[in-house]
Chain A
Amino acid sequence: MSWENFRVAIFDKAPDALFVHATIVLVTIMIAILISIPLGVFLSRPKYKRFGLITLNLLNILQAIPGIAVIALALPILGLGMKPAVVALLFQSLLPIVRNTIAGLMGVSPDVKEAAGGMGMSQRRILFEVEIPLAMPIILSGIRTATVYVVSIGTLAALIGAGGLGNLIIGGLSLFRPEYLLVGAGLGAIMAISLDRLLSYLEYRITPPGMRVE
């Protein structure tokens, strides 16, 4: 190991890689949230419960596919670059959020809903002002699972030319430069752990004190 290599890895390579990685994670999670929360809300309505079970089973199967296989399958279909990587990551980040949205909404006590209805709230207001706020901690925990997952599999996205921290790791492995390896791997681990901590803190903050489990 040499200091010179470390310097190059940290100051020349890492900022770029970190920025690309953060972009991939942010974009993927944003799109995943935009798709899965409405989907979860839709599937938890009593009318569409039947589709809910089918969708959940389908997403469950998708989730079982290893990340590296999804990335490898994305390449021939979608090509190289950041966009295919985001699509591939998106596939697997949907399940935790959809599942938790449904679980959270179903977990809201019927009494609370009835009380809200009795106060004259419309279905829409009950959803936005009662059900979603009460389900939010569980939804957020799904988002946390998905985020950690995307950071992790995001390192593999370097294989299809998306860049990011995986570039440093794979470059380090093929050139056998442990400095690159350590910088890339370390930053990836730190990013995943700190996002996990941040989101679980947020989860704790938005949980009403009465609902906190010790």
Chain B
Amino acid sequence: MSLINFFSKNTETIIEYSGNHFTLVLWAVGISLLIWVPTGLLLTKSDKWAARVLALANTIFCIPSLSMFAILVTIPTFGLGRKSALFALVLYAMMPLIRSVYDGVKNVDRNVIEAAKGMGMSTGRILREILVPLGIPIIFAGFRITVVMTTGIAAIATYIGERNLGRFISEGLVRSNTPMMVTGALIISVIAIGLDTLLGLIEKRIVPKGLRVTR
């Protein structure tokens, strides 16, 4: 009951925080796509560099998110606020995105590429018309993980001054205001599960018919 009460009394705040949350997630995912997808494509050219960069990405991915935000806050150029939050989220997206682009492109049958070359396709066209369409199932899976993960970690950015859905949880904890906390947790969970399901459905649609695996 108190949940519904809290919800109806604070609709405006909820909308404001959700807006902030989505803006942060959108920016982070957008920047990550712009940086990491080309990086992943480049890495397919050199196995040595791929191993190095993937190891680095893995190490970054291990760092607890609260730690990452905390370390960024102490660096003078970043400090409290959106810059640190964005930077941390983009760093976290590195692992799933680079890995999936790399794996997706590497998984394409060598013979198909050979055939394309034999037909006289340029490297650019092979990339656009063969590698990316055939690699898309794995790449999209990485994108899905990135979006869901970013939504979750963005909530933690409330501790470094973001005013988003995580704020309900942090404020609720401090004030021991259970309805507030539970509302925040529920909204974030619903958004994360919803995004995951939605992207999962799209994932099923975009896979070329011949590549579909029956699970």
Give a binary string over B61-74; 1 marks a CB under 8 Å from any A CB, 0 the rest.
11111111011011
Q: Which residue of A lies closest to B153 (CB)?
A: A66
- Given known A65-B193, A193-B62, contact A172–B188 (CB-CB < 8 A): no
* Contact of A155 (CB < 8 Å), options: B59, B67, B193: B67
A-chain residues with CB within 8 Å of residue B151 when the two chains form the complex: 66
Measured between C-beta atoms, what is the minimum distance from B158 to chain A in Å? 9
A-B contact pairs, 26 of them (CB 8 A): A65-B193, A66-B155, A67-B152, A68-B152, A68-B169, A69-B186, A76-B178, A152-B64, A152-B65, A152-B66, A159-B170, A165-B67, A169-B67, A173-B159, A173-B160, A181-B73, A182-B70, A185-B67, A185-B68, A186-B71, A188-B64, A188-B66, A192-B62, A192-B63, A193-B63, A196-B59
B62 touches A69 (CB 8 A): no
CA distance A104 to B95 in the complex (A): 23
Q: Which residue of B lies closest to A158 (CB)?
A: B66
B-chain residues with CB within 8 Å of residue A61 when the two chains form the complex: 193, 196
Interface size on A, residues (CB 8 A): 40
A72 near B: Cβ within 8 Å? Answer: yes
Measured between C-beta atoms, what is the minimum distance from B166 to chain A in Å? 6
Give a binary string over B192-214; 1 marks a CB under 8 Å from any A CB, 0 the rest.
11011000000000000000000
A-chain residues with CB within 8 Å of residue B142 when the two chains form the complex: none
A73 near B: Cβ within 8 Å? Answer: yes
A-chain residues with CB within 8 Å of residue B195 when the two chains form the complex: 64
CA distance A186 to B62 in the complex (A): 12
Q: In chain B, residues 73-115, which have Cβ atoms closer than 8 Å to a Cβ of chain A?
A: 73-74
Secondary structure call for the B interface: helix
Give a binary string over A95-130; 1 marks a CB under 8 Å from any B CB, 0 the rest.
000000000000000000000000000000000000
A75 near B: Cβ within 8 Å? Answer: yes
A185 touches B62 (CB 8 A): no
CA distance A148 to B58 in the complex (A): 11
Residues of B within 8 A of A (CB): 58-59, 61-68, 70-71, 73-74, 148, 151-153, 155-156, 159-160, 166, 169-170, 172-173, 178, 181-182, 184-186, 188-189, 192-193, 195-196, 215
A-B CB proximity, top 6 nearest = A66-B152, A185-B67, A152-B64, A72-B185, A69-B185, A185-B70
B-chain residues with CB within 8 Å of residue A68 when the two chains form the complex: 152, 155-156, 166, 169, 185, 188
CA distance A165 to B61 in the complex (A): 18
A140 near B: Cβ within 8 Å? Answer: no
- Given known A66-B152, A66-B189, A173-B73, contact A185–B66 (CB-CB < 8 A): yes
Residues of A within 8 A of B (CB): 53, 60-61, 64-70, 72-73, 75-76, 148, 151-156, 159-160, 165-166, 169-170, 172-173, 178, 181-182, 184-186, 188-189, 192-193, 196
B-chain residues with CB within 8 Å of residue A70 when the two chains form the complex: 185
B71 touches A69 (CB 8 A): no
